[in-house]
């Protein structure tokens, strides 16, 4: 006990916490883009694709997709997509989960109903049915814009722009942005 060193650590008050956060941010911590005005860098009341991609990457939103080695292969992409479409985490997709979301995540270019992907005709999709049908569709290729059989963080960000652009007018207004923010949390 005689050789123990006692260090007294002062309590941090709110000022200390705020100052610490401020200095950490000012000293090069990554910038987090979470509000519409910050994503709309040119302040034209519409987030353009390039603004969205840059902000998506700067905010590290791709981490939600668990990119391995910086990209997703076909199987990993369809598995992650299945998980994102499965709103209630039941391990299955119902008609209410599948039909609107397949259109959204395929940018309206895959016109499929659940019955065309449901191989056992029970009215729901399990992950294996989804991944098998998705691998036969053009869904992956819509996201893999480079054609290298993997989806990079930048390609993912570009695809998410189209997911977010609900009215397909090639810019994201504040209502679309808020809806997207609520859906990713």
Model pLDDT, residue 2: 52
Q: What is the CA radius of gyration of the chain?
A: 21
Phi and psi angles of residue 10, each rounded to the nearest 5 degrees, phi first: -70, 150
What totals of helices (H) and strands (E) does the chain contain, helices first?
Answer: 10, 4
Report DSSP state, residue 90: S
What is the structure's pLDDT at 60?
87
Question: Which residues, including other chains, have CB under 8 Å from residue 176's CB and lie 6 or more apart?
Answer: 164, 165, 166, 167
- Counted residue by residue, the chain has a size of 185
Q: CB under 8 Å to 144, separation ≥6 — which residues?
A: 150, 151, 155
3-class DSSP state of 172: strand
Cα–Cα distances (Å) from 121 to 66, 84, 128, in that order, read 31, 22, 14
pLDDT along the chain (185 residues), means of 10: 49 42 39 75 94 92 82 92 93 93 88 88 95 91 95 95 92 93 71
Q: Which residues of 32-58 are buried (b: 16+ CB within 10 A; e: fewer)?
A: ebeebeebbeeeeebbbeebbbbbbee
Q: Are 91 and 83 in contact (CB under 8 A)?
A: no
Beta strands 125-126; 151-152: pairing state: unpaired
**pTM for this predicted structure:** 0.75
Of 111, 90, 92, 89, the residue nearest 100 (C-alpha) = 111
Handedness of CA 19, 22, 27, 32 (dihedral sign): positive
DSSP 3: T
């Amino acid at each position: 006990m005689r050789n123990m060193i006692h260090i007294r650590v002062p309590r941090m008050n709110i000022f200390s916490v705020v100052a610490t956060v401020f200095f950490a941010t000012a000293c090069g911590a990554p910038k987090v883009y979470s509000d519409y005005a910050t994503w709309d860098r040119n302040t034209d009341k519409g987030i353009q694709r390039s603004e969205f991609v840059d902000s998506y990457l700067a905010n590290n939103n791709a981490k939600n997709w668990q990119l391995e080695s910086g990209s997703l292969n076909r199987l990993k992409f369809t598995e992650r997509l299945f998980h994102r479409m499965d709103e209630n985490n039941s391990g299955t997709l119902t008609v209410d989960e599948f039909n609107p979301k397949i259109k959204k995540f395929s940018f309206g270019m895959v016109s499929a109903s659940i019955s065309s992907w449901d191989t056992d005709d029970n009215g729901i999709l399990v992950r294996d049915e989804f991944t098998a049908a998705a691998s036969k569709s053009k869904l992956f290729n819509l996201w893999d814009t480079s054609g290298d059989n993997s989806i990079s963080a930048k390609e993912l960000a570009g695809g998410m722009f189209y997911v977010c652009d609900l009215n397909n007018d090639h810019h994201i207004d504040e209502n679309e942005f808020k809806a997207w923010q609520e859906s990713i949390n």
